[in-house]
Amino acid sequence: MRRLTAGLVVLAVAALSVPAALAGGGRPVLGWQHAFPNGTGFGMVEPRTVYLGGDPTGYVSKLRWQRWGSGKTVGYGQGWCPGRSVASGHYCTTSLHVYDLATCHGRHSYRMMVFYFKPGSRQHWIVGARLNVCTGQYVF
């Protein structure tokens, strides 16, 4: 019985010493699932849709991620490029640059995200919002 108890103690200590990065397969999530009250895609691994919960410029669908799990990952998808106003905008290629791997509410997560919009095929990328997706705050 002592060997069984000692073995269980060793297993329990080993399980508690696993780094947060390796917990749950080691795949980080995107921020905190409650960072944006009406948001979508947060707290998930490689979400296909990300939505901040406000106007259409914060919605990106059909996301395909490159190098998820590395220090910085980029997701390309379809979003809404603002025109002179949000209403005068149009669908466009959008990319999300996600970085700052750390712990967020107890989970291994990407904590920062920046939107980029490409209004037309011959136009340059335009920087959009920069967000802390762990706290739900815009970074200026």
**The amino acid at 60:** V
- Structural domain boundaries of the chain? 24-138
pLDDT band at 139 (very low <50, low <70, confident <90, very high): very high
pLDDT in tens, 37-79: 999 999 999 999 999 999 899 999 999 999 999 999 999 999 9
pTM as predicted: 0.79
Rounded CA-CA distance 132/135 in Å is 6
pLDDT band at 1 (very low <50, low <70, confident <90, very high): low
- Residue 3 in this model has a pLDDT that exceeds 80: no
* Residue 98 to residues 7, 69, 90, 117, Cα–Cα distance (Å): 42, 10, 24, 15
